[in-house]
C-alpha cells in the first residue's frame, strides 16, 4: 500500500481537497439543486464569507475546490491567508460568479471551512498552552471517517504535530499486543524486525517498571498511559538516567489519556516530549462562518 504523506505539497493538497469536495457535493446535490433551479442560470452574484468569531482560518483549498467545481470561472479574493487568525465579523473571502453555482456550493464550502478552522483553532489553543516547554501537541486517529487527512492537515495548520496516519505507517504497541506477544522484550524484538517498514516504533507502558524494561530493551519512543504527575516526573528522570548509558540516548516520551486544557501546562512541565490529544479532532466545535450574497 502506498503511504499517505504527513505533509502535502500544493498539488497534493489541491487533489485531496478536490476528492473530499467531490464526495460532499455528490452527497448534497444528488441529481441537482432544486431550489437553485429557481435562479436565472445567466445571473451572476457577489458573495462574501464572514467569520463570526475569532479563529485560525483553515480549509481554503476545500472552499476553492467547492466553488470552482460548480463554476470554473469563479473569482476568489482571500483577505485572510491559510493559518492566519481572523477576527470576529471579518470578511475572509470575496467571491464573484454564477449565482446558481454559489448557492449550490455554499453549504459544502462552509462545512469544510467551519470544521477545519475549528480543528486548527483548538490545536492552536493547546499549542499556546505549552509554549516554552519541550512538549509538542500531537493528534490521534480519533478523526471523522473519511476526513482523516483533512483533519490532520488542520492540526498542522494550527501548529500541532501528526501522529501516525493509520495502522499501516507506524507501530504502536499497546497492552494487548504486549500480552499476545509474550511480554515487552519479546514484542520489541518482533517490532525491531519490522521497523524498516514503519515510520517509528512506540510502546505503551502503564508503570515505571514497564518503562524501565522497555528502555532496557531499546525502546526509542514510549507512551506513558494515564500516569499521575509524580509518576510522570519519575518517568522523565528514569528516561534521562537510563538514556545516558544508551547509544541512542533517552527515548521520546509521550503522554496520553485524561489530558485536559486546564492541566496541560502542568503536564508539559514534567519534561515529556509529546502530548497526544484526541479531542483536537474528535470533539470539534465548528467555527462560525456565514456567506452573504449580493445579486449583480
Question: What is the DSSP secondary-structure string of the chain?
Answer: -PPPPSS--HHHHHHHHHHHHHHHHHHHHTT--TTGGGS-TT-EEEEEEEESS-EE---HHHHHHHHHHH-TT-EEEESS-TTPEEPTTEEEEEEEEEHHHHHHHHHHHHHHHHHHHHHHHHHHHHHHHTTTSSPEEE--S---TT-HHHHHHHHHHTT-B---SSTTS-EEE-HHHHHHHTSHHHHHHHHHHHGGGSS-EEEEESSHHHHHHHHHTT-SEEEEES--HHHHHHHHHHHHHHHTTSTT-SPEEEEESS--HHHHHHHHTTT-SEEE-THHHHS-----EEEEEEE-
Res 197: pLDDT:
83
Res 3: pLDDT:
55
Known catalytic residues are 107, 142, 174, 204, 225
- pLDDT tens, position by position, 220-265: 999 999 899 999 999 999 999 999 999 899 999 999 988 999 999 9
| Mean pLDDT, the chain, whole residue set | 94
- pLDDT tens, position by position, 5-32: 667 888 999 999 999 999 999 999 999 9
3-state SS, one letter per residue, for 52-76:
CCCEECCCHHHHHHHHHHHCCCCEE
Q: Which residues are within 8 A (CB) of 220 and not within 5 positions of it... i.e. 6 or more apart?
A: 200, 201, 202, 248, 251, 252
Residue 296 scores a pLDDT above 80: no
- Closest C-alpha among 234, 277, 283, 279 to residue 254: 277
The helix-helix angle for 208-216 and 229-243 (nearest 10°) equals: 20
Output DSSP code: residue 201.
Answer: E
- pLDDT tens, position by position, 43-55: 999 999 999 999 9
3-state secondary structure of 277: coil
Res 143: pLDDT:
97
Task: Name all domains of the chain by residue range, CATH numbers in brackets.
Answer: 10-122+284-295 (3.90.1170.20), 128-282 (3.20.20.70)
Range name among 57-71, 189-203, 234-248, 274-288 with the lowest pLDDT average: 189-203
What percentage of the chain reaches a pLDDT higher than 70?
97
Amino acid at each position: 500500500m502506498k503511504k499517505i504523506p504527513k505533509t502535502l505539497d500544493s498539488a497534493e493538497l489541491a487533489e485531496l481537497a478536490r476528492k473530499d469536495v467531490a464526495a460532499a457535493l455528490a452527497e448534497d446535490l444528488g441529481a441537482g439543486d432544486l431550489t437553485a433551479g429557481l435562479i436565472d442560470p445567466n445571473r451572476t452574484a457577489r458573495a462574501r464569507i464572514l467569520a463570526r468569531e475569532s479563529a485560525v482560518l483553515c480549509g481554503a483549498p476545500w472552499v476553492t475546490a467547492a466553488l470552482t467545481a460548480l463554476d470554473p470561472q469563479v473569482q476568489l479574493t482571500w483577505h485572510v491567508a491559510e493559518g492566519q487568525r481572523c477576527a470576529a465579523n471579518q470578511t475572509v473571502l470575496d467571491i464573484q460568479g454564477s449565482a446558481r453555482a454559489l448557492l449550490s456550493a455554499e453549504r459544502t464550502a462552509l462545512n469544510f471551512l467551519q470544521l477545519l478552522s475549528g480543528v486548527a483553532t483548538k490545536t492552536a489553543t493547546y499549542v499556546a498552552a505549552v509554549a516554552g516547554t519541550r512538549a509538542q501537541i500531537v493528534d490521534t486517529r480519533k478523526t471523522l471517517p473519511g476526513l482523516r487527512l483533512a483533519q490532520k492537515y488542520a492540526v498542522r495548520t494550527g501548529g500541532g504535530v501528526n501522529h501516525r496516519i493509520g495502522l499501516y505507517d507506524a507501530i504502536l504497541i499497546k497492552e494487548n499486543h504486549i500480552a499476545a506477544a509474550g511480554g515487552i522484550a519479546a514484542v520489541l524484538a518482533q517490532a525491531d524486525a519490522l521497523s524498516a517498514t514503519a515510520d517509528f516504533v512506540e510502546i505503551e507502558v502503564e508503570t515505571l517498571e514497564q518503562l524501565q524494561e522497555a528502555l532496557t530493551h531499546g525502546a526509542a519512543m514510549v507512551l506513558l498511559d494515564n500516569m499521575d504527575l509524580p509518576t510522570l516526573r519519575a518517568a522523565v528522570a528514569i528516561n534521562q538516567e537510563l538514556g545516558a548509558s544508551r547509544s541512542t540516548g533517552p527515548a521520546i516520551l509521550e503522554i496520553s489519556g485524561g489530558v485536559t486544557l486546564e492541566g496541560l501546562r502542568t503536564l508539559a512541565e514534567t519534561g515529556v516530549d509529546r502530548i497526544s490529544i484526541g479531542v483536537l479532532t474528535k470533539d470539534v466545535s465548528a467555527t462560525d462562518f456565514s456567506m452573504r450574497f449580493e445579486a449583480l
